């Protein structure tokens, strides 16, 4: 497979003004008739042939302006249809046959539990019909769906239904019209035995919108939260961004087989059932919050993505980075804002930083790709959102909002670039963003080395920041970035933020330093007392910041920093220092000793009245094994696990009664609600229980058992069962695990939790459990949720067992990748990720991992897996 380059972008030769589609749905032989109204693009090079994309299509008929084409008048190969002598304006009619029943890749038109559905982003439409399948070709669509009335009573597509009727042989049809020009990736069709819940929303200009959520009948009781979230998102986008919905109907459909979380098709969002269905008895708090976030994300795309879309796929972060930033802000407003920031940053620092440091590192605006579906990455989404957040902070909210208004107004109905978006921000603010734009073109996580000195005599604080971005594949040399560093100076005597004066300018209690050079020294004057600097407040830029904080400094910031995020981060840094020592002790076979400062810091947290329980729960949570691994030059999985367990157990032993009191204080019999308050209490209670279970405290085991038996809500049931299954008390855990599996055998989303909690147990039998559970009737390699729940959870979250020294964990993952390479290449290319990080481990593991990558490379590979494996082994 050949790469595509951003520099080679050319406008399309032809544009499509209108499309009429007709689907005659039959599982293994669906007929698709397409009438494309085409005309030469004014910007296209003259005389070019008409080339349409098309894959796995069996062409049955082709005509131009009603005239059938002879065989010499067109060419078809496995990726395209070419008409060399197309007129400047034409009506092209094609009829193709496709096979949704055997489509296990879940791209294009496929079947999920007997339901027809589509996934067209990024390049799935070309598996439905011949078309210029690129986002800068925008057309209005009219779609007629024909299907069997009994098995497919509901027939949906984008826009509004304009006609419906009965047909001979027990069939029926519905015609849909979408008045908004859209790229083919936003096309959608769903047909099946579905039922709906319906609601209404009145927009800010007084228009009535019908909201429909379509699900399989058994799932009707799991729709309340998604509908509530949708209405909240619609209102939020009006009040925050001034964006109103633009059709009379907004539909969401839940499907079981789906490669990602959800898809923002115009007026007809299609959701992975895991990202939309909730019920207190089946879904955890985290699932409720995910649903709220994903529903909002897809809804927000109606403007950031659909009304204004991407010129080409190199601009993917234009819609994804901006929309993630928007959904993060929405969730922050709906829940605890500091906790949302902590969660987002933890995820970024663990997963995106690892991607940026690995073989698949790429810029937020990549300059080439082989397989675009491999580029739906944490870098495009999460780092892209951080760049938009930095813009918001640089401009201030009001100016940023003006820039957003200008962007939506100027480019409505167009397919544009990241530069167009940034251009609006520069225009409204007058800021020069030239250097800032390097954030989009340079891969890798910038590192800042900071050091500070207090000059008593002059009452000055000198802060020196030195930036460097490490080399990434294809980008050996990096230029300095424009990095906004939000800082405060906390007085060591007063414990208060000191007033900042920089270059004679009074900044107030905190300020933003603009680091543009490789090295810059900032001199704060009139600093009345020795300070501890609080750097990168709110995580003001996606960088790794090092400062030689002593443990006393961190303990001080943990209690005195006025920035909630940095207070949490000080705790994480303090724990990391202790963990580093313990990892070294484990490696050297030296006795481990617990750092008393960490114990005292935790004691303080447990004994202070909590003003924000959600933040307290985060403060009491140790850095994850994945995050600790990120900080190590060579990852020692066993030492990391042992050190972290030692800290957990030491804290639990010393602070046992405090944890027990916290557990008891946060129990509640109140009916379940996914409210911020209840979620915070449950989290705090289950964090306390986890500490107590780490020492297998007898009373805690009994409390966990009772919590499971009480069956109050899935958050508590799952937490209790996980802790028991991860303990050595199989006599208590096994019967509960069996009972749970039996009770929920009919519910795939609950069975996914049952799979995950078993295969993440640290005991040595985890790998055998994976193999055993792969044979379970509820498991299928064809369903991406099952694969993620079982294989993804094992390889991603059970580090000690996946990295077994006999290489069995790696072998198992490679076997799954090889099987998925033919079944579902997109999922294969994602699930392989842990193997691609081989450079981070010791030599023995490196060679075992590389051997498995070589074994995969020897197969006949899909472009998806080929691209990832080649980069990993380069």
Q: Indicate which residues carry an active-site annotation.
A: 298
Binding partner of 259, given Zn ion, ligand HT7, none, CB within 5-8 angstroms per partner class: ligand HT7
Q: How far apart are CA 759 and CA 769, in angstroms?
A: 6
3-state secondary structure of 515: strand
N residues, the chain: 874
Contacting residues for 398 by C-beta, under 8 A, at least 6 apart: none
Q: Which is nearer to ligand HT7, 290 or 297 (CB)?
A: 297
- Termini Cα distance of the chain: 16
3-state secondary structure of 461: strand
Strands 531-535 and 483-491: antiparallel
Interacting residue with ligand HT7 among 376, 408, 411, 556 (CB under 6 A): 376
Q: How far apart are CA 598 and CA 16, in angstroms?
A: 64
Host H or E run for residue 211:
strand 208-215
- Distance of closest approach, residue 120 Cβ to ligand HT7, in angstroms: 9
Q: Which residues in the 22-61 window bind ligand HT7 by CB under 6 A?
A: none
- Distance of closest approach, residue 336 Cβ to ligand HT7, in angstroms: 24
Binding partner of 256, given ligand HT7, Zn ion, none, CB within 5-8 angstroms per partner class: none
Interacting residue with ligand HT7 among 320, 497, 510, 625 (CB under 6 A): 320
Q: Which is nearer to ligand HT7, 186 or 617 (CB)?
A: 186
Q: Which residues in the 472-501 window bind Zn ion by CB under 5 A?
A: none
Would you count residue 237 as binding ligand HT7 (CB under 6 A)?
no
Binding partner of 119, given ligand HT7, Zn ion, none, CB within 5-8 angstroms per partner class: ligand HT7
Host H or E run for residue 103:
none
Of 213-221, 316-324, 357-365, 662-670, the window that binds Zn ion (rule: CB under 5 A) is 316-324
Of 66-74, 258-266, 515-523, 864-872, the window that binds ligand HT7 (rule: CB under 6 A) is 258-266
Binding partner of 350, given Zn ion, ligand HT7, none, CB within 5-8 angstroms per partner class: none
Per rule CB under 6 A, count of chain residues that contact ligand HT7 = 15
Distances (CA, A) of 407 to 179, 189, 421, 468: 22, 30, 6, 32
Nearest to 393 by CA among 461, 329, 297: 329
Of 67-75, 245-253, 257-265, 575-583, the window that binds ligand HT7 (rule: CB under 6 A) is 257-265
Q: How far apart are CA 354 and CA 630, in angstroms?
A: 7
Interacting residue with ligand HT7 among 188, 253, 263, 583 (CB under 6 A): 263
Interacting residue with ligand HT7 among 30, 112, 118, 119 (CB under 6 A): 119
Nearest to 233 by CA among 250, 218, 247: 250
Q: How far apart are CA 618 and CA 341, in angstroms?
A: 11
The number of C-alpha atoms within 13 Å of 830 and in the hemisphere containing its C-beta is 20
Q: How far apart are CA 511 and CA 174, in angstroms?
A: 59
Distances (CA, A) of 857 to 347, 813, 846, 851: 30, 14, 16, 10
Q: Which is nearer to Zn ion, 161 or 261 (CB)?
A: 261
Q: Which is nearer to Zn ion, 106 or 380 (CB)?
A: 380
Q: Which is nearer to ligand HT7, 297 or 389 (CB)?
A: 297
3-state secondary structure of 163: strand
Interacting residue with ligand HT7 among 53, 55, 95, 121 (CB under 6 A): 121
Nearest to 272 by CA among 281, 280, 264, 263: 263
Place of tokens 């030239």: 434
Q: How far apart are CA 272 and CA 129, in angstroms?
A: 24
Per rule CB under 5 A, count of chain residues that contact Zn ion = 2
Interacting residue with ligand HT7 among 21, 32, 105, 122 (CB under 6 A): 122
- Tell me the two tokens of residue 812: 């198992």
Nearest to 800 by CA among 847, 754, 766: 766
- Distance of closest approach, residue 5 Cβ to ligand HT7, in angstroms: 20
- Distance of closest approach, residue 96 Cβ to Zn ion, in angstroms: 29
Nearest to 366 by CA among 403, 317, 415: 317
Nearest to 824 by CA among 788, 851, 796, 858: 788
Would you count residue 136 as binding ligand HT7 (CB under 6 A)?
no
- Residue 810-829 contact track with ligand HT7, rule CB under 6 A, x = bound: ----------------x---
Question: Are the C-beta atoms of residues 461 and 496 closer than 8 Å to each other?
Answer: no
Interacting residue with ligand HT7 among 13, 105, 111, 260 (CB under 6 A): 260
Q: Which is nearer to ligand HT7, 51 or 262 (CB)?
A: 262
Contacting residues for 422 by C-beta, under 8 A, at least 6 apart: 391, 433, 436, 437, 440
Question: Are the C-beta atoms of residues 305 and 289 closer than 8 Å to each other?
Answer: no
Q: Which residues pair with 268 in a beta bridge?
A: 251
Binding partner of 383, given ligand HT7, Zn ion, none, CB within 5-8 angstroms per partner class: none
Binding partner of 595, given Zn ion, ligand HT7, none, CB within 5-8 angstroms per partner class: none
Q: Which is nearer to ligand HT7, 156 or 270 (CB)?
A: 270
- Distance of closest approach, residue 824 Cβ to ligand HT7, in angstroms: 11
Q: Which is nearer to Zn ion, 320 or 355 (CB)?
A: 320
Of 201-209, 259-267, 473-481, 600-608, the window that binds ligand HT7 (rule: CB under 6 A) is 259-267
Q: How far apart are CA 317 and CA 379, in angstroms?
A: 9
Q: Which is nearer to ligand HT7, 122 or 795 (CB)?
A: 122
Report the residue number whose CB is nearest to ligand HT7: 260
Question: Are the C-beta atoms of residues 618 and 567 closer than 8 Å to each other?
Answer: no
Q: Which is nearer to ligand HT7, 287 or 465 (CB)?
A: 287
Would you count residue 510 as binding ligand HT7 (CB under 6 A)?
no
- Tell me the two tokens of residue 408: 């939506």
Q: Which is nearer to Zn ion, 55 or 327 (CB)?
A: 327
603, 605, 607, 609 alpha-carbon torsion, rounded to 10°: 180
Question: Are the C-beta atoms of residues 864 and 856 closer than 8 Å to each other?
Answer: no
- Residue 283-302 contact track with ligand HT7, rule CB under 6 A, x = bound: --------------xx--x-
Of 243-251, 262-270, 587-595, 752-760, the window that binds ligand HT7 (rule: CB under 6 A) is 262-270
How many CB atoms are located within 10 Å of the residue 329 CB?
A: 22
Would you count residue 629 as binding ligand HT7 (CB under 6 A)?
no
Binding partner of 442, given Zn ion, ligand HT7, none, CB within 5-8 angstroms per partner class: none
Q: How far apart are CA 337 and CA 339, in angstroms?
A: 5
Binding partner of 122, given Zn ion, ligand HT7, none, CB within 5-8 angstroms per partner class: ligand HT7
Q: Which is nearer to Zn ion, 366 or 511 (CB)?
A: 366
- Distance of closest approach, residue 320 Cβ to Zn ion, in angstroms: 5
Q: How far apart are CA 318 and CA 301, in angstroms?
A: 11
Q: How far apart are CA 223 and CA 228, in angstroms?
A: 9
Interacting residue with ligand HT7 among 142, 331, 373, 722 (CB under 6 A): 373
Q: How far apart are CA 787 and CA 768, in angstroms?
A: 16
- Residue 322-341 contact track with Zn ion, rule CB under 5 A, x = bound: -x------------------
Of 85-93, 97-105, 314-322, 421-429, the window that binds Zn ion (rule: CB under 5 A) is 314-322
Note the residues at the interface with Zn ion (CB under 5 A): 320, 323
For ligand HT7, the binding residues (CB under 6 A) are 119, 121-122, 259-260, 262-264, 297-298, 301, 320, 373, 376, 826
């Amino acid at each position: 497979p050949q790469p595509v380059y951003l520099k080679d972008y050319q406008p399309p030769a032809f544009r499509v003004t209108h499309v009429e589609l007709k689907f005659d749905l039959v599982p293994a032989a669906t007929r698709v008739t397409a009438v494309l109204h085409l005309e030469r693009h004014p910007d296209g090079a003259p005389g070019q042939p008409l080339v349409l994309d098309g894959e796995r299509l069996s062409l049955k008929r082709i005509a131009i302006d009603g005239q059938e084409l002879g065989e010499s008048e067109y060419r078809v190969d496995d990726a395209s249809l070419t008409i060399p002598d197309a007129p400047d304006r034409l009506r092209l009619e094609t009829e193709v046959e496709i096979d949704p029943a055997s489509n296990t890749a879940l791209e294009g038109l496929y079947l999920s539990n007997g339901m027809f559905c589509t996934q067209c982003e990024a390049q799935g439409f070309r598996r439905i019909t011949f078309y210029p399948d690129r986002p800068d070709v925008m057309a209005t669509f009219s779609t007629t769906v024909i299907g069997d009335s009994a098995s497919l009573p509901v027939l949906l597509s984008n826009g509004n239904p304009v006609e419906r009727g009965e047909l001979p042989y027990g069939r029926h049809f519905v015609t849909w019209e979408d008045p908004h020009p859209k790229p083919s990736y936003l096309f959608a069709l769903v047909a099946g035995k579905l039922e709906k819940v319906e609601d209404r929303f009145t927009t800010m200009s007084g228009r009535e919108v019908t909201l429909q959520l379509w699900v399989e009948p058994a799932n009707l009781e799991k729709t309340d939260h998604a509908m509530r979230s949708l209405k909240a998102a619609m209102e939020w986008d009006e009040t925050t961004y001034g964006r109103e919905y633009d059709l009379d109907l907004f539909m969401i459909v839940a499907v079981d087989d789906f490669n990602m979380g959800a898809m923002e098709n115009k007026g007809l969002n299609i959701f992975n059932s895991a990202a939309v269905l909730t019920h207190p008895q089946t879904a955890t708090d985290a699932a409720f919050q995910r649903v709220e976030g994903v529903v909002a994300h897809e809804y927000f795309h109606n403007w950031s993505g659909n009304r204004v879309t991407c010129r080409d796929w190199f601009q993917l972060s234009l819609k994804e980075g901006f929309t993630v930033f928007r959904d993060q802000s929405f969730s922050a407003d709906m829940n605890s804002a500091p906790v949302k920031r902590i969660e987002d940053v933890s995820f970024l620092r663990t997963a995106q930083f690892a991607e940026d440091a690995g073989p698949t590192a790429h810029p937020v605006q990549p300059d080439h790709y082989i397989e675009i579906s491999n580029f739906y990455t944490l870098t495009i989404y999460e780092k892209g959102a951080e760049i938009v957040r930095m813009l918001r902070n640089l401009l201030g909210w009001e100016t940023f909002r003006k820039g957003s208004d200008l962007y939506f107004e100027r480019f409505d109905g167009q397919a544009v670039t990241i530069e167009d978006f940034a251009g609006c921000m520069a225009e409204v603010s007058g800021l020069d963003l030239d250097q800032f734009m390097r954030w989009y073109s340079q891969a890798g996580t910038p590192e800042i080395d900071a050091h500070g000195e207090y000059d008593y005599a002059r009452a000055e604080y000198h802060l020196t920041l030195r930036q460097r971005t490490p080399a990434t594949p294809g980008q050996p040399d990096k230029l300095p970035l424009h990095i906004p560093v939000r800082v405060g100076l906390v007085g060591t005597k007063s414990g208060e933020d000191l007033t900042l004066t920089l270059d004679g300018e009074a900044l107030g209690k905190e300020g933003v330093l603009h680091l543009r050079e490789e090295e810059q020294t900032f001199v704060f004057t009139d600093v009345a007392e020795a300070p501890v600097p609080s750097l990168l407040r709110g995580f003001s830029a996606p960088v790794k910041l090092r400062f030689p904080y002593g443990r006393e400094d961190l303990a001080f910031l943990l209690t005195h920093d006025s920035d909630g995020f940095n207070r949490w981060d000080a705790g994480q840094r303090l724990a990391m220092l202790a963990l580093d020592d313990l990892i070294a002790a484990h490696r050297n076979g030296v006795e481990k000793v617990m750092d008393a400062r960490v114990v005292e810091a935790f004691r303080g947290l447990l004994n202070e009245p909590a003003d924000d329980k959600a933040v307290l729960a985060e403060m009491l949570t140790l850095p994850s094994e994945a995050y600790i691994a990120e900080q190590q030059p060579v990852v020692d999985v066993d030492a990391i696990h042992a050190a972290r367990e030692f800290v957990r157990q030491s804290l639990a032993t010393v602070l046992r009664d405090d944890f027990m009191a916290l557990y008891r204080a946060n129990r509640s019999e109140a009916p379940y609600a996914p409210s911020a308050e209840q979620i915070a209490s449950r989290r705090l209670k289950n964090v306390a229980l986890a500490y107590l279970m780490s020492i297998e405290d007898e009373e805690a085991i009994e409390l966990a058992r009772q919590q499971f038996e009480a069956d109050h809500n899935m958050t508590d049931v799952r937490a209790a069962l996980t802790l028991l299954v991860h303990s050595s008390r199989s006599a208590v855990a096994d019967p509960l695990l069996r009972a749970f599996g039996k009770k929920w055998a009919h519910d795939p989303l609950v069975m996914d939790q049952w799979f995950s909690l078993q295969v993440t147990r640290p005991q040595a039998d985890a790998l055998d459990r994976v193999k055993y559970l792969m044979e379970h009737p509820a498991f299928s390699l064809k369903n991406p949720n099952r694969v993620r729940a079982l294989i993804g959870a094992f390889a991603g979250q059970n580090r000690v067992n996946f990295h077994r020294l006999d290489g069995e964990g790696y072998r198992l993952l490679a076997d799954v990748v090889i099987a998925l390479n033919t079944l579902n290449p997109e999922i294969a290319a994602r699930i392989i990720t842990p193997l691609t990080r081989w450079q981070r481990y010791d030599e023995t593991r490196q060679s075992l991992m590389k051997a498995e990558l070589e074994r995969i490379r020897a197969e006949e590979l899909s472009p998806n897996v080929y691209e990832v494996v080649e980069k990993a082994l380069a």
